[in-house]
Amino acid sequence: MSSLTIRTDREVEQALDSLTHDGRSRSDAARMAILEAERSQRRARLRAEAEELRNDPDDVAQSQKLAEDMEAIRAW
């Protein structure tokens, strides 16, 4: 496991105090925040990709065609 050293300002110190008030270590709080930031970034990328597809006329047409084809072979 590697280590990371960061400089903090007053705002970060206050956030760390809030995240560690329950006894969690500063290291655990930092790890948790980094992982949550990465998940948030990944969700934002996925939302942007979905929005792009939603606005792509070719993709919309293909989706509609697929839905029509699936309806034609539906059992009931």
For 22-32, write each residue's pLDDT tens digit. 999 999 999 99
Helix (H) or strand (E) holding 36: helix 26-54
Per-residue confidence (pLDDT) for residue 73, from 0 to 100: 86
Helix, strand, or coil here: 74? coil
Structural domain includes residue 56:
yes
Q: Which domain holds residue 24?
A: 10-72
Residue 4 lies in a domain: no
Residue 47 pLDDT: 97
pTM of this structure: 0.69
> In total, how many domains does the chain have?
1
Selection from 39, 59, 62, 40 nearest residue 51 by Cα: 59
Residue 2 lies in a domain: no
What does the pLDDT look like over 26-73, one tens digit per residue?
999 999 999 999 999 999 999 999 999 889 999 999 999 999 999 888
Q: What is the C-alpha separation between 3 and 44, in angstroms, rounded?
A: 28
